Structure 1
Amino acid sequence: MSINRRQALTKIIGLSTAAAGATLLGTSAFAATDANGNYRLALGEKLKYAPLDAMATAKLAYETGGGCMHQVFHAIITMLAASGSVDAEKFATIPTALAGYGWAGVVGQGTLCGNLNASGMLINILDDINGQNSAIIGASFRYYETNDLPLSSAEFIAGIGSTAEKSLEVGKTSIANSPLCHSSISNWSAASGKPFALKGERCKRLSASMAYHIVELLNRAHGGEDISILAEAKPSAEAQACQSCHGVTETMGSAASVKSDMECTTCHTGHYN
């Protein structure tokens, strides 16, 4: 069967014809359904969160391959698809493999850690959780930046399905002092004496740790806790001091305007770097 150009256009971009000779009425290129009526997440659409089991999510992240961003994003989305969320079926349609680019700071570039990339990607599609979404993202970034990771208690190691023997592959835990993969891996390497090539078990546990904490934050916000007032959700005192001069709307004298909540002194020393 042959189709004319107008019919072809209708099939390609999901336009519909009201009647013969009528004006074409188009749906958005970001429509929530495709030409065949199959659901797809629309740009700006938000899905309802439902509380999850943090340890079960961490275990799934630990068991999932594809790098840190995929581990965290896939684990939480998969758990939401099996949850009591009213949007569970919609979560199940999200192609989590898209998060596979985030390994080692975006395809090995050592920039934003995939765990945090996953946090932003996930929370950006969640419906408002008591006004706490932005605070949850901030808290996940600051937690990664300032805490000794990966989690290493016997309870956590058993919970994710790892073993004490594999802890030898991790060596020592470390503090990233930055949301960057580069800083995180470098500080772990310095602490453990291990090279980047041997980061496997360490990074699997780090992804499990972050999946665990992100779910904890989401659950707490869902339960009504104000995450925004936590010290964890705010820049450090040092970073806040820098922001007093390097503001977003106003600056001190000729100071540059800066938009960032990450640690400043990891890369900058006073006004000389």
Structure 2
Amino acid sequence: MQKENENHLSRRSFFKQSGALATGVAIGIGGAGIVSANAKATQVEPLPWPYTKLDVEMARKLGHLGYYKNECSAGAFYGILWPLKEKIGHPYDTIPIEPPNIMTFGAGGVAGWATLCGALNGASAAITLVTKNYKPIINELFGWYQDESFPSDQSNEYASKHQFLVEKYKSDKILTKSIAKSPLCHASVTDWCKASGYGSGAKERSERCARLAGDVAAHAVKLLNLDAEGKFKPTYAFSEEVAGCRKCHFKGKDCEAGQNTRGKMDCLQCHEAHDI
């Protein structure tokens, strides 16, 4: 009796699936337009995706707004890609861009671990989506970030005059600026806290990082606009101190000779000379 019931269920499942298949074929014949539209909506487009020049200042304001929605990494990603979704549509309508988005994990240097600055993380992901030149552009973005004083004068001005896109500000003060000399969240936040006197949990620190997210999105768009025009030229070069370290300490095969490390960060931010 049990065997008979199992056979009955198997036959019923088969005919149910066959009916669904037949329906699908019928739709394919009689409703090809519907199938085609659905297929286009779910199609995974090869990279890079289309890019059109964007407004740098709008990217700055959207990056700041994105931080308020879901912190630094999601914010910078949003600041670059939301305008592209608005201007171009597909394929940008196939991924979550409105925060929380796919870069949410990068907040606070990846889930609060204070490693790579979330704004750099989100901006780099966006850059990789839209250009084959992502490596030199990201390299340029990181080099600029290390030496830039955050938050920018432009972001400080927007906040003090309430010209960002948020309704209620964490702080509208002109905030102290600092140079991290590192792409790491830990170094960036710590140096700013020491320069400003605010603790890492202060609302002013949070506002500083919101402005920084906007600044990073804006500079990434500036570089992408140059790339779209065929005018992007890398300018970042190692400082004299870093170049000196890299005479021995670089990616190589001779560990004893000092080739026991790799990277491009300012060595002396964390190390003293000859201790690598």
Relative to the length of structure 2, the TM-score reads 0.75
Distance 1:41 1:264, change over 3 A: farther
Match of 1:46 in 2: 48
Q: How far 1:238 sits from its partner (Å)?
A: 2.1
SS at match of 1:134: helix
Give the root-mean-square deviation of aligned CA atoms: 3.2
Identity of aligned residues (%): 28
Distance 1:161 1:244, change over 3 A: same
Rounded Cα–Cα distance in structure 2 between residues aligned with 1:156 and 1:221:
27
Match of 1:166 in 2: 171
Any gaps of 5 or more consecutive residues in structure 2? 1-11, 22-37
The reply to whether residue 242 of structure 1 matches residue 226 of structure 2 is: no
Match of 1:32 in 2: none
Q: How far 1:145 sits from its partner (Å)?
A: 1.1
Equivalent position to 2:259, from 243, 256, 261: 256
Match of 2:271 in 1: 268
SS at match of 2:268: coil
Rounded Cα–Cα distance in structure 1 between residues aligned with 2:195 and 2:164:
23
Distance 1:180 1:41, change over 3 A: farther
Distance 1:101 1:164, change over 3 A: closer
Rounded Cα–Cα distance in structure 2 between residues aligned with 1:253 and 1:211:
41
Match of 1:24 in 2: none
SS at match of 1:225: coil
Match of 1:195 in 2: 199
Equivalent position to 2:57, from 52, 55, 58: 55
Q: Is the 8 A contact 2:60 2:79 kept in 1?
A: yes
Rounded Cα–Cα distance in structure 1 between residues aligned with 2:242 and 2:194:
24
Match of 1:219 in 2: 225
Q: Quick one: which amino acid aligns to residue 178 of structure 1?
A: S
The reply to whether residue 139 of structure 1 matches residue 140 of structure 2 is: yes
Match of 1:182 in 2: 186
Match of 2:122 in 1: 118
Rounded Cα–Cα distance in structure 2 between residues aligned with 1:185 and 1:143:
17
Q: Quick one: which amino acid aligns to residue 47 of structure 1?
A: W
Rounded Cα–Cα distance in structure 2 between residues aligned with 1:40 and 1:68:
29
Equivalent position to 1:103, from 100, 107, 120: 107
Q: How far 1:60 sits from its partner (Å)?
A: 1.4
Distance 1:254 1:165, change over 3 A: closer
* Residue correspondences, number: 238
Q: What are the equivalent positions in structure 2 for 1:15-54 lying under 5 Å apart? A: 37=39, 38-41=41-44, 45-54=47-56
Deviations 1:155-194 (A, max 9, x none): 55455347999343x6311111111100000001001100
Deviations 1:105-132 (A, max 9, x none): 111111100011112211222233xxx4
